[in-house]
Amino acid sequence: MHSGFLLLLWFAGVASVQFLPPAALIGVVVAALLLALGFAQARVRRLLRRVRVLMLAIFVLFGWFTPGEALFAQWPQLSPARDGVTLALIHGGRLIVVVCAVALLLERLPLERLVGGLYSLSRPLALIGLQAGDVALRLLLVLRFVEASPRGHGPTHWKEWLRDDDGGSELQPIHLVRERLGGVDALVVIGLCTVLLMWSLS
């Protein structure tokens, strides 16, 4: 399947999570965690550790700054609001789904195809003067250097970031993958259009 089309479906899926009712969101969170732990375990664990402070901030802000009935009636001054805790769980669940989706995307889609898909999606922006090729190549360079950086491979002194010594290794050439739409993409588009049409008529 075309990488740009995959990214478009990914963006649509992540956006649709924001509109799920709480009951459906619980199932999506469980399914996303199972998929991420099954196919991108190391990456999703790392990403979840990085957003733990954000998760705590969501719980504190919604739990203690949302007006409503206290969750623990015995300590009304210290207790979070019942509605606030519900909102915190909803927004925290959405964040977990997005993190799992990012982990699966980065794990299953090679870096060159990912940037190539972004290139395909950004080509219409050429009408306003934005060169899609330049943006994609710069993004690919940034992602490569971030992955090759010493950060995340043990304690590193800040001066390591300023070194201009590559250890004698040569920079690898950059390949921007450009793909063509295939038969599978056409079938998926037809299927999605059919589902949307039936949903709008029901």
Last residue of a domain, one of 57, 82, 109: 109
- Say yes or no: 57 and 144 in one domain: no
**Is residue 60 assigned to a domain?**
yes
The verdict on residue 169 lying in a domain is no
- Single-letter amino acid, residue 175: H
86 & 123 share domain: no
Evaluate the CA torsion angle 78, 82, 85, 91 in order and state its sign: negative
Neighbours of 25 (CB within 10 A): 19
Answer with the one of 109, 132, 160 that is the final residue of a domain. 109
Residue 33's CB is within 10 A of a number of other CB atoms, namely 16
Q: Are residues 105 and 115 in the same domain?
A: no
| Whether 7 and 66 share a structural domain | yes
Sorted by sequence, the CB contacts under 8 Å of residue 67 that are 6+ apart come out as 81, 83
Residue 32 sits in the same domain as residue 126: no
Q: Which residues of 166-180 are buried (b: 16+ CB within 10 A; e: fewer)?
A: eeeeeeeeeeebebe
Number of domains the chain is built from: 2
Q: What DSSP state is assigned to residue 70?
A: B
Domain contains 160: no
For residue 97, CA distances in Å to 37, 106, 179 come to: 12, 14, 28
Q: What is the pLDDT of residue 176?
A: 66
Strand partners, 70: 81
Residues 97 and 39 in one domain: yes
Do residues 21 and 98 share a domain?
Answer: yes
154: left (phi over 0), alpha (psi -120 to 50) or beta: left
In this predicted structure, what is the pLDDT of residue 109? 84
* 7 residue type, one letter: L
CA distance 121 to 8: 8
| Secondary structure of residue 150 in the 3-state scheme | coil
Are residues 81 and 131 part of one domain?
Answer: no
pTM score: 0.75
Tell me the pLDDT of the chain (202 aa) as tens digits.
778 788 888 888 899 999 999 999 999 999 999 999 999 999 899 889 989 999 999 999 999 999 988 888 888 888 899 999 999 999 999 999 999 998 998 888 887 788 788 777 777 766 777 677 677 777 767 666 655 555 444 445 545 545 555 544 555 665 666 777 677 777 877 887 787 677 777 6
Q: Which domain holds residue 143?
A: 111-150+175-192
Nearest to 101 by CA among 188, 192, 16, 186: 16
